Structure 1
Amino acid sequence: MSLVRQLQNHRLTTARIFYHLPDFPAVLQQYIWQDYDLAPDFPHLRRFLDFWQRELEGPLHSVHVMSASLITSSEMKVVHREFVLH
C-alpha cells in the first residue's frame, strides 16, 4: 500500500508534537506521529491535530513537521531486459 501512496505523491511525514500535561501544565510531553501525507497541506496531520484539540485534554504547545519523498523520478528506471538465473 505504501508504494501506491508514494506514487500518488504522498510523502513519509513525521510530526513531533509537544503538549502540556493536563495535571502539570508546566511540564511538556512529546508525541511522535508518522504517516504518509500530501505536502505542503498535510491533510492527514491536520485531521489528527483537529481531533487532538477537540478530544484530548493536553493542550498543544508546538508541532515540528518533517517530510521526505521516498521515491523520486531519478530512482525509477525502465527495465528493457530480464535475465533469469537458476
Structure 2
Amino acid sequence: MAQTPRQRRANEKFAKNETAKQGKRQAATTSQKQNAKSPLSTGWVVLLAFIICGGLAFELLRIVPEIWSFFVAIFNRLTG
C-alpha cells in the first residue's frame, strides 16, 4: 500500500526529530581535513638550526687541532 501525503509528512517529521535527538554525525565532521601548520615559519627553523649546528661546527673546528696535536705529541713520544 502506498503512503499518503499526510503519512509521508509525518514520517519526514519523525525522522527529522530522531536525527536531532542523535546529534550530528561524526562522519560529517571527520571528512574535513585540517591542515596542521607549524607555529614557526621555515625561516625561523633554518635560523635555529644554523645557530645550533653552526655553533657545534665552530666548536669542532676549534677543538680538532688541539686533539690532533695531542695525538701527534703522544705518537712522537712513543717513536722518539
TM-score, normalised on structure 2? 0.22
Q: Which has the higher contact order (CA 8 A, sep 6+)?
A: 1
Higher share of residues assigned strand: 1
Higher share of residues assigned helix: 2
TM-score, normalised on structure 1? 0.21
